Structure 1
Amino acid sequence: MLMSWPEWIEFSLQFNHVLAIIAGSLVGLSLGLTGGGGAIFAVPLLVYGMGVDPREAITISLIAVGLTSFTGFLSRWRMGEVDLKTGFLFALSGMIGTPAGTWIANLIPETVLMLAFAGLMLIVAERMWKKATKPFVKDSLCQPTGHEELDDQMTCQRSLSGQLILTSRCAALLLMVGVLTGVIAGLFGVGGGFVIIPALVLFSGMPIHKAVGTSLFVISLVSLSGVISQTVAGRTVDLQITLPFVLGGLAGVVAGQAFAKRLSGPALQKTFVVAIVLVATMVIVRNLTA
């Protein structure tokens, strides 16, 4: 028996809800499993899986990434794995860069925007592959010192107690990386953890576990700035897609973190690299042949 138009519309809406939950769960699951880089799947899933406009997909992605990162931050904060001082510096500069990324995204044609996004995906894949094959992080440029008062230094300094000592050049370096993270977030709707975590370890001398927790704090604030920038720019989202997508993402993160403890990290990351490259290739082909 054929459905009437009202019944068909209701069925379509329910089907879209299910699709949004599944898509959000996949993004959250990948975030929970890999600890970073999973958000790169959000925009392609929304655009090619659900037919969402690319710029609207960026906004939805920022909302989902922001909320899932904030949830992760609260958990890490309770465990004492967040450096709020360094995180605030990064986040404030990132929040400055986000409107610039939003402005650039509004100037770029959708095809160019998606091709640039595919390029970003390949960069993330390359970084994840390196991390999987060489899991040990390069020695920090941040040197310990026993003196609280320092002359201007090229690299950041930490006291013997582990407190970050900000020189003008150190602050400028962290601010520049923070602004870059904000631009990437506003332009592509991703958190930028693949930039934040290496920068925190390399330039601020932060232990890797604390860098992960601090990056979640930074990403949540930068994503909030991105959502505000998108709203000011007149960008709207379909709540019937956004809410189930976000809920699916939150559930996926919890499940991913639980599974991650039982799986081999390097092998898992290599699998995700293959998936990222395949999705990036699909994005490139679809936009070049459109």
Structure 2
Amino acid sequence: MTLITLLLVLGIGIGVGMIMGLTGAGGGMLAVPALVYSQGWTMQQAMPVALLAVSLGAMIGAIDGLRRKQVRYKAATLMALAGAPLTSLGILVAKNMSQRWLMLAFSTVLLIVVARLIFQAKTQLLGSAHSTERQDAMACVNRETGKFDWTIKTASVIGLIGACAGFFTGLLGVGGGFIIVPLLRHFTNLSMQSAAATSLMVIALVGSVAVTSAILHGAEIPLLFSLVFALTSVTGVLLGRRVANLLPSATVQVIFAGMLVLVAFSFLVKAF
């Protein structure tokens, strides 16, 4: 590994980790294109390496969230169980897609996420009623216990969120947090901090399954490169978790949305 490559890996890893620590999402979205451009890899080559780093970083972030009692671990486990089987389906679909269509799909998902992030940021800045106290959500956390009131409806909502996240984890090589966090915020009354922490636990569990599945399907992971990338991502996650306590979530979401717009349009240009 050359010095230039090492510096690139350090920069990308810390940047990816910080975004994931700040938002509970976005690690894979930035890691995959960063590896594609910096290493000249295809998306199929970049996905397992990105997932390995994102999964390890998410695990460290989830442990921090558990320590702070922000992780709803039963919901995270259910989402992981629902998402894991569909991860392999996503990987199989990705292997049979052309590079152009995979990039177009990736860009489309990014732009959908951007629209959602901007809407959430606007809602927060205007002081909308989407607060942690709302009790009209489909799946509600009990204010006295701090845990979900488990019903068939609650389990169904949480399971479907996990299933969607699992499929896109395998298809696009991303952690799935870009689906988990917005859907948890929309369909439950979890706070942003708790949604992000719970998302990190799901990413760690589902991402580990996805990496194993990718290897079993013949993916090659450069050991030294992946190890350095994963360790720097963990460092970034820990930094991001600290910074998250200092910045308004709306500010973080706008910055994140701007970065994703740049990535999405660069992939659209490359696809055509």
Query: For residues 151-186 of structure 1, what are the alpha-carbon distances to aligned partners after superposition, in whole Å with 9 as ceiling and x for unaligned?
Result: xxxx44666645434333432332222111100101
Distance between the aligned counterparts of 2:50 and 2:21, measured in 1? 16
Query: For residues 44-64 of structure 1, what are the alpha-carbon distances to aligned partners after superposition, in whole Å with 9 as ceiling and x for unaligned?
Result: 100012212211211111111
Distance between the aligned counterparts of 1:41 and 1:35, measured in 2? 13
The match for 1:179 is 163
TM-score by length of 1: 0.82
By how many angstroms is 1:281 displaced?
0.8
CA shift in 2, pair 1:110/1:222, >3 Å: same
Q: Between Structure 1 and Structure 2, how many residues are aligned?
A: 265
The match for 1:168 is 152
Structure 2: runs of 5+ lacking an equivalent: none
Do residues 210 (structure 1) and 213 (structure 2) align?
Answer: no
The match for 2:11 is 22
Distance between the aligned counterparts of 1:241 and 1:162, measured in 2? 41
The match for 2:30 is 41
Distance between the aligned counterparts of 1:70 and 1:191, measured in 2? 11
CA shift in 2, pair 1:203/1:125, >3 Å: closer
Distance between the aligned counterparts of 1:130 and 1:90, measured in 2? 25
The match for 2:81 is 92
What is the CA RMSD across the aligned residues, in angstroms?
2.3
TM-score by length of 2: 0.87
By how many angstroms is 1:104 displaced?
0.8
Matches within 5 A, 1:140-151: 140-142=135-137
By how many angstroms is 1:204 displaced?
4.4
The match for 1:5 is none
Do residues 244 (structure 1) and 233 (structure 2) align?
Answer: no
The match for 1:79 is 68
CA shift in 2, pair 1:110/1:256, >3 Å: same
Do residues 272 (structure 1) and 256 (structure 2) align?
Answer: yes
Higher mean C-alpha deviation, range 193-202 or range 122-131:
193-202
Structure 1: runs of 5+ lacking an equivalent: 1-11, 143-154
**Mapped contact 1:93–1:176 kept (Cα < 8 A):** yes
Distance between the aligned counterparts of 2:185 and 2:250, measured in 1? 19
The match for 1:59 is 48
By how many angstroms is 1:223 displaced?
0.4
CA shift in 2, pair 1:284/1:140, >3 Å: farther
Identity of aligned residues (%): 33
CA shift in 2, pair 1:18/1:214, >3 Å: same
**Mapped contact 2:24–2:197 kept (Cα < 8 A):** no
Higher mean C-alpha deviation, range 265-274 or range 159-168:
159-168
Matches within 5 A, 1:253-272: 253-272=237-256
**Mapped contact 2:141–2:190 kept (Cα < 8 A):** no
